[in-house]
Amino acid sequence: MTEVSEFEVARRIRSLVLQHAGESMVYKSWGHTLASNNMTELPGRINTTVDVSGFTKEQFDQLGFGTWDEDTPVRLIPLWLFPFLAEGVEYTAIDGDKITKREQMDSDHRFGCLSFGILPANPT
């Protein structure tokens, strides 16, 4: 059996998030409750986490990680990935604070990305 990379897990999660969002928007017969449940229950159905610490700059680009400014290589985490982030990884806030627990992150976002990020494995 082939081991699936963390990047591939993240790609699959993104695909499922987009599929569920599409279903929730298009299937009007579902109503608001079913459409909402379709999205809010998704993390529990996927039931996995992703360690993004080994991702390259190119992988961050492919998954929609943002940049804060040109002076820092920190890549901001897209909101859709928030429920799936692994614990124990060092995340860096835009103010420079470092944390290792997802529960310490603020889920507020700007332009679709959290105010927390991570350094790419190849920052250049």
What's the rounded Cα separation, in Å, for the pair 69 and 14? 25
How does residue 18 score in pLDDT terms, banded at 50, 70 and 90?
very high
Q: Evaluate whether 24 touches 33 at the Cβ level (below 8 Å).
A: no
- Provide mean pLDDT across the span 62-81: 92
Beta bridge partners of 110: 113
Residue owning tokens 């991570």: 118
Question: Residue type at 117?
Answer: G
Residue 103 vs residue 83, higher pLDDT: 83
DSSP state of 104: G
How many CA atoms, within 13 angstroms, populate the side-chain half-sphere of residue 101?
2
- For the chain, give percent helix, strand, coil, nearest 5: 45, 15, 35
- Provide mean pLDDT across the span 51-69: 93
- Provide mean pLDDT across the span 9-34: 95
For the chain, count helices (H), then strands (E).
4, 6
The yes-or-no verdict on residue 100 having pLDDT over 80 is yes
The yes-or-no verdict on residue 30 having pLDDT over 90 is yes
The yes-or-no verdict on residue 43 having pLDDT over 70 is yes
Q: What is the pLDDT of residue 68?
A: 83
What's the rounded Cα separation, in Å, for the pair 86 and 30? 32
The yes-or-no verdict on residue 81 having pLDDT over 80 is yes
Q: What is the pLDDT of residue 122?
A: 72
